[in-house]
């Protein structure tokens, strides 16, 4: 979804980021979707349920897909912000 006009336009992209077992995961299709959204040229704000970090391996998105997402974000000049809905910690 894009909001704005010619002066400022922002694209919000929500991804599930779940493996349906409560753990964070970004599928190759979600990464492809994100790459296509970045290519549109608007300031883009990706939104996830799970955090994409290297320090939250159980409930967050970690591993190769997190590395691929971070590479994608760092190569896109249009990433405005990345948000998450929760960061569940199991103690």
Instruction: Identify the sign of the CA torsion 90, 15, 61, 79.
Output: negative
Residue at 51 is within a domain: yes
Tally of domains within the chain: 1
- Domain containing residue 69: 7-84
- Which CATH number goes with the domain that contains 53? 3.30.750.180
In b/e form, how buried is each residue of 23-35, taking b as 16+ CB within 10 angstroms? bbbbeeebbeebe
Digits of tens for pLDDT over the chain (91 positions)? Answer: 777 777 778 888 888 887 777 777 888 888 898 888 888 888 888 888 777 766 655 567 777 877 888 888 888 877 767 777 765 555 4
Instruction: Identify the sign of the CA torsion 75, 14, 39, 61.
Output: positive
Q: 0.85 cut: is pTM over it? A: no
Q: Which two tokens stand for residue 44?
A: 């883009």
């Amino acid at each position: 979804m894009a909001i704005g006009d010619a002066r400022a336009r922002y694209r919000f992209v929500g991804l599930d980021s779940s493996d349906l077992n409560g753990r964070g995961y970004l599928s190759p299709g979600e990464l492809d979707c994100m790459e296509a959204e970045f290519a549109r040229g608007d300031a883009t704000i990706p939104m996830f349920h799970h955090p994409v970090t290297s320090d939250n391996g159980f409930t967050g998105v970690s591993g190769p897909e997190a590395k691929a997402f971070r590479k994608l974000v760092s190569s896109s000049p249009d990433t405005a912000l990345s948000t998450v809905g929760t960061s569940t910690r199991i103690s």
